[in-house]
């Protein structure tokens, strides 16, 4: 009696279902792919084409299981070479000393710290999407949170490199941490630079934990699929390399199985998992706000004109979210074009929502820029007023106006709905914002340092090829890691995506009640064409 | 004898009876039936957390938030104590005339950011490790994983498994209960 089929007919019918003709499923005119519905009361679909649970698994696991798209390997080769060259230049820098950079005694923070703040800022969008949008119950986040979190971690890796190599004697970097040393002295806990060490390392760790915890159920899916293929075909199956007798699925079952830690989708486990997820979202929210606030303290607690302002923490946090969302769009808009079926998950509505966030945070950043000028004038401090005049009209005027053009002017396009809804326009604006946010940090750091109180301290900064090379190398590291992520890890939070499908609710009208399945009419019948529940149900079987 | 032992024809111990369901609604209603029949050692399995399932399964709140609160406050306290001892007691480093860190001189204020970060760090570790520990994970083997059919629990199928060690477990009655709950297949799970 090992197998009993109580209702053989039902089982066979369920197994043999095919997708019905998708009549009436074409998006209504004026709604783009069908998600740009503006009617209040109608929730736009989060996933297009009425994907079944199985299709979601197949598509998303397919990104990690099938051979990558043709462009993947050449691009990977290119960016990993760039990353390697950047690494070689870091080696050159360590051997030569940080004089290899264009910094000097006057401008003693330049591209290194610019890059640090640039990357750490980009990291903030991931936690914003996974934590703050989770607390705000923004369900659309499920399609973008995994890749945004991945991006966060890779950005933090790039960011953490720069203070590490900026300290001069890089082999002493361990002295940043409170480790007992031969001189029996401890780090200076009253310095914002040390706060920064703790903030960034905590941020990187917590983001990685959050990312990993989110992936546990998806690792279990990948493990189970590999396991099923191994059981179906115990001997054959693709090999890792033609001459290596290691089968890919054996390796997958092992690695994904190890990472899944024995997750078995138990209801009791899910209950605690969801509690843990909510808690992590709750504690990451103040964390993400604290990290860039503390980064801004690096500047704000000094007495330098242009740095010593109280607006810095909120201004930096808004800028970080602004730049981070631009980077999410910069990565995901090409990805949704290049990967099959990805447009079903990252819809035009997602692009539009993120464009709105760019507009809002861009306005906040613009407000901060103007408020800095206002306070410089209103505060009647001649050094500060000079500093800001010098920013806009001094030797670095081009950097300042690049920043204004990219960060303040370009997002204004998003006041127009038609612009927010065109992925190409959104992509171009997010490129501009990414450039602009790099220039923002450059402007803050270099334009303040190159004209300090005494004219004797005045100097210019000119980057060397080591400056440029290490920055480009960090971009290479970032894209390399992101390509590896897209190739080997679940790119979407599958379990979460399934949970936001309409049929995931046990109370979905399509399931009816018991054996009387025609309750689809009435209150829930706004879907019109599919209000008859059994027909809807049978249209969502296997493909 | 509180828990009757059942064995298969070949003498293997029985872990329980596993029933497959086609959709979350059937799983939900089956869970309500199993709950109402008074079982305690049973579980549902679904590829995603099913909404309201804790109600259908009838279990209470998890103590995880309490653990995380303890972890977070421990981290914050340790972080503060570390700074206070290192810069106020063990080696008083005079930098820019800033106070050393006792409560009377106001020096503790400079310790707040790191105290906060340490609290967050410990709370985050507690929530992940605590969640896994309460779930009995990591555990890389489980009798259910031997069942090929069960592997679709991470794809698109829904399961209920009632364990043989449950006080109310009875081969015929338990099977009948699951059958009556619209299970699409029922299998015995060996230990």
Q: For chain A, how many structural domains are there in total?
A: 1
DSSP A18: B
- For residue A541, give the DSSP letter: S
Residue A12 lies in a domain: no
Q: Which of A311, A436, A284 is nearest to A376 (CA)?
A: A311
Same domain, B77 and B102: yes
The answer to whether residue A8 neighbours chain B at the CB level (below 8 Å) is no
Task: Let me know whether B118 and B179 are in one domain.
Answer: no
A252 touches chain B (CB under 8 A): no
Residue A349: pLDDT above 60?
Answer: yes
Say if the Cβ atoms of A3 and B186 lie within 8 Å.
yes
| Residue A15 clears pLDDT 60, i.e. is over it | no
Short-list A259, A289, A328, CA closest to A478:
A328
Provide the number of CB pairs (under 8 Å) joining chain A to chain B. 256
Specify the pLDDT at position A25. 54
Are the C-beta atoms of A359 and A415 separated by less than 8 Å? yes
Q: What angle do CA A279, A319, A147 make, to 5 degrees?
A: 50
Judge whether A290 and B113 are in contact, CB under 8 Å: yes
Chain A segment 232-251 residues within 8 A of B by beta carbon are none
Contact B175, B22 (CB under 8 A): no
pLDDT of A479: 95
Report whether A113 contacts A162 (CB < 8 A).
yes
For residue B39, the enclosing domain spans 14-47+156-190
Residues B124 and B68 in one domain: yes
Does residue A25 lie in a domain region?
Answer: no
The per-residue pLDDT for A181 is: 78
Contacts of B42 in chain A (CB under 8 A): none
Q: What interface predicted TM-score (ipTM) does this complex get? A: 0.93
Whether residues B108 and B169 share a domain: the answer is no
CA nearest neighbour of B179 among B6, B53, B37, B73: B37
Q: Among A479, A476, A471, A369, which residue's Cα sits nearest to residue A110?
A: A471
- The verdict on B70 and B106 lying in the same domain is yes
A257 and chain B in contact, CB less than 8 A: yes
Q: Are residues B122 and B91 in the same domain?
A: yes
Looking at residue A118, which CATH number applies to its domain?
Answer: 1.20.1630.10
DSSP type of residue A32:
T
Are residues B187 and A2, on separate chains, in Cβ contact within 8 Å? yes
Contact list in A for residue B112 (CB cut-off 8 A) is none
Tell me: pLDDT of A518 over 80: no
Confidence class of residue A358 from pLDDT cuts 50, 70 and 90?
Answer: very high
Greater confidence, B140 or A298? Answer: A298
Q: d(Cα A400, Cα A444) in Å, to the nearest integer?
A: 9
Q: Are B98 and B91 in contact (CB under 8 A)?
A: no
Indicate whether B27 and B70 sit together in one domain.
no
Give the residue among B190, B140, B165, B173 at the shortest CA–CA distance from B18: B190
Average pLDDT score over residue span A272-294: 92
Low-confidence winner among A20-34, A289-303, A344-358, A518-532 (lowest mean pLDDT):
A518-532
- Name every residue whose Cβ is closer than 8 Å to that of residue A248 and which is 6 or more positions away in sequence: A237, A238, A239, A240
Read off the tokens for A518: 């025609």
A502 is written with which tokens? 């309409």
Task: Identify the CATH number of the domain in which residue B27 sits.
Answer: 3.30.70.120
Q: Which of A5, A16, A268, A512 to mutate to test the interface with B (most CBs of B within 10 A)?
A: A268
DSSP string over A235-301? S-S-BSSTT---BHHHHHHHHHHHHHTT---BHHHHHHHHHHHHHHHHHHHHHHHHHHHHHHHHHHT
Same-domain status, B79 and B108: yes
Give φ, ψ of A143 to 5 degrees.
Answer: -80, -25
Q: Which of B22, B43, B110 sits opposite A266 (nearest CB)?
A: B43
Instruction: Give the rounded distance of the alpha carbon of A173 from its chain centre.
Output: 28
How far apart CA A435 and CA A431 sit, in angstroms, is: 6
Task: Assess B58–A contact: CB distance below 8 Å, yes or no.
Answer: no
Q: With CB atoms and an 8 Å threshold, state whether A262 touches B117.
A: no
Chain A contact for B132 (CB, 8 A cutoff): yes
Q: What does the pLDDT average to over A363-369?
A: 94
- Structural domain count of chain B: 2
In this predicted structure, the answer to whether residue A533 has a pLDDT above a threshold of 70 is no
Euclidean distance between CA atoms A394 and A120, whole angstroms: 28
Please answer whether residues B14 and B7 qualify as being in contact, where contact means their C-beta atoms are separated by less than 8 angstroms. yes
Count the alpha carbons within 13 Å of A336 in the hemisphere toward its beta carbon.
22
Report if residue B147 sits inside a domain: no
Banded model confidence at residue A506, pLDDT cuts 50, 70, 90: confident
Q: How far is A355 from chain B (nearest CA, A)?
A: 29
CA distance A342 to A63: 10
H or E stretch at B162: strand B158-163
Q: What share of chain B is helix, strand, coil (3-state, %, to 5)?
A: 50, 15, 40
Find the helix or strand (DSSP H, E) in which B176 lies: helix B171-180
Residue A193 sits in which domain range? 58-178+186-501
Q: Where are the alpha helices (DSSP H) in A339-422?
A: 348-378, 382-393, 397-403, 417-420
User: Region B115-125: what's the mean pLDDT?
Assistant: 95
Taking an 8 Å cut-off on Cβ atoms, the answer to whether A279 and B134 are in contact is no
Q: From CA A200, how far away is CA A76, in angstroms rounded?
A: 28
Pairing type for strands A3-4 and B42-45 reads unpaired
pLDDT band at B124 (very low <50, low <70, confident <90, very high): very high
pLDDT tens column, A319-335: 998 999 999 999 999 99
* Rounded Cα–Cα distance for residues A239 and A461 (Å): 54
Say if A526 falls within a structural domain.
Answer: no
Residue A526's pLDDT band, with cuts at 50, 70 and 90, is very low
Nearest Cα residue in chain A from B54:
A271
Helices (H) and strands (E) in chain A, counts: 20, 1
Of the candidates A287, A289, A174, which has an alpha carbon nearest to the alpha carbon of residue B122? Answer: A287
Using an 8 Å Cβ cutoff, are A216 and A265 in contact? no
DSSP A187-223: --TTSHHHHHHHHHHHHHHHHHHHHHHHHHHHHHHHH
> Does B31 fall in a domain?
yes
CA distance B46 to B56: 14
Give residues with Cβ within 8 angstroms of B122, minimum separation 6: B71, B72, B74, B75, B76, B78
**Is there a cis peptide before residue A129, judged by omega within 30 degrees of 0?**
no
């Amino acid at each position: 009696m090992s197998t009993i089929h109580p209702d053989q007919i039902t089982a066979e019918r369920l197994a043999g279902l095919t997708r019905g003709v998708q009549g009436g499923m074409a998006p209504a005119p004026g709604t783009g792919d069908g998600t740009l519905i503006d009617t209040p009361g109608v929730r736009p679909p989060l996933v297009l084409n009425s994907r079944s649970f199985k299709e979601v698994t197949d598509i998303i696991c397919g990104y990690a299981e099938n051979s990558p798209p043709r462009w993947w390997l050449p691009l990977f080769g290119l960016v990993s070479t760039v990353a390697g060259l950047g690494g070689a230049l870091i080696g050159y820098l360590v051997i030569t000393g940080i004089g290899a950079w264009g910094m000097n005694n006057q401008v003693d923070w330049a591209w290194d710290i610019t890059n640090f703040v640039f990357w750490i800022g980009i990291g903030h969008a991931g936690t914003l999407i996974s934590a703050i949008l989770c607390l705000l119950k923004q369900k659309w986040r499920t399609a973008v949170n995994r890749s945004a979190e991945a991006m966060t971690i890779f950005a933090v890796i790039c960011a953490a490199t720069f203070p590490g190599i900026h300290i001069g004697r890089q082999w002493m970097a361990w002295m940043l941490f409170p480790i007992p040393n031969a001189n029996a002295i401890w780090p200076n806990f009253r310095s914002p630079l040390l706060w920064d060490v703790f903030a960034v390392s905590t941020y990187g760790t917590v983001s990685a934990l959050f990312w990993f915890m989110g992936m546990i159920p998806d690792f279990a899916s990948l493990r189970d699929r590999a396991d099923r293929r191994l059981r179906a075909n115990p001997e054959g199956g693709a090999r890792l390399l033609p001459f290596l007798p290691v089968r890919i699925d054996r390796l997958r079952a092992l690695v994904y199985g190890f990472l899944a830690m024995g997750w078995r989708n138990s209801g009791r486990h899910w209950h605690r998992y969801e509690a843990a997820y909510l808690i992590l979202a709750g504690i990451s929210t103040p964390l993400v706000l604290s990290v860039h606030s503390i980064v801004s303290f690096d500047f704000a607690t000094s007495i330098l004109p242009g740095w010593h302002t109280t607006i810095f923490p909120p201004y930096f946090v808004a800028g970080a979210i602004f730049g981070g969302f631009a980077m999410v769009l910069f990565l995901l808009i090409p990805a949704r074009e290049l990967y099959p079926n990805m447009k079903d998950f990252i819809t035009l509505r997602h692009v539009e929502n993120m464009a709105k966030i760019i507009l809002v945070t861009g306005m906040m950043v613009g407000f901060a820029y103007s408020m800095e000028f206002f306070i410089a004038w209103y505060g009647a401090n001649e050094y500060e007023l000079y500093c800001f005049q010098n920013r806009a009209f001094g030797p670095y005027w081009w950097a300042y106006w690049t920043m204004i053009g990219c960060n303040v002017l370009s997002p204004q396009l998003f006041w127009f709905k038609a612009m927010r809804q065109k992925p190409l326009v959104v992509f171009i604006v997010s490129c501009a914002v990414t450039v602009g946010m790099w220039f923002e940090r450059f402007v803050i750091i270099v334009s303040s340092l190159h004209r300090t109180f005494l004219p004797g301290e005045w100097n210019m900064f000119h980057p060397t090829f080591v400056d440029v090379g290490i920055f480009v190398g960090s971009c290479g590291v970032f894209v390399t890691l992101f390509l590896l992520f897209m190739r080997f890890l679940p790119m979407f939070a599958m379990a979460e995506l399934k949970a936001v499908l309409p049929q995931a609710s046990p109370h979905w009208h399509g399931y009816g009640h018991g054996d009387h399945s025609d309750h689809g009419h009435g209150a829930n019948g706004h879907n019109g064409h599919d209000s008859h529940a059994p027909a809807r149900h049978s249209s969502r079987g296997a493909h | 004898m509180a828990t009757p032992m059942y064995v298969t024809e070949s003498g293997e111990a029985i872990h329980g009876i596993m029933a497959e369901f086609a959709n979350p609604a059937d799983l939900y209603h089956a869970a309500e039936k199993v709950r109402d029949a008074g079982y305690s050692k049973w579980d549902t399995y679904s590829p995603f957390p099913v909404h309201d399932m804790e109600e259908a399964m009838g279990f209470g709140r998890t103590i995880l938030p309490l653990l995380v609160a303890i972890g977070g406050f421990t981290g914050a306290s340790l972080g503060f104590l570390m700074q206070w001892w290192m810069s106020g007691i063990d080696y008083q480093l005079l930098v820019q005339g800033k106070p050393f860190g006792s409560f009377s001189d106001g020096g503790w204020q400079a310790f707040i950011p790191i105290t906060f970060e340490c609290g967050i760090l410990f709370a985050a570790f507690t929530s992940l490790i605590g969640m896994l520990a309460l779930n009995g994970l990591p555990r890389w083997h489980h009798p259910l994983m031997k069942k090929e059919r069960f592997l679709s629990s991470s794809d698109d199928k829904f399961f209920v498994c009632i364990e043989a060690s449950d006080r109310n477990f009875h081969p015929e009655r338990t099977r009948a209960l699951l059958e009556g709950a619209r299970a699409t297949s029922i299998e015995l799970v060996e230990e």
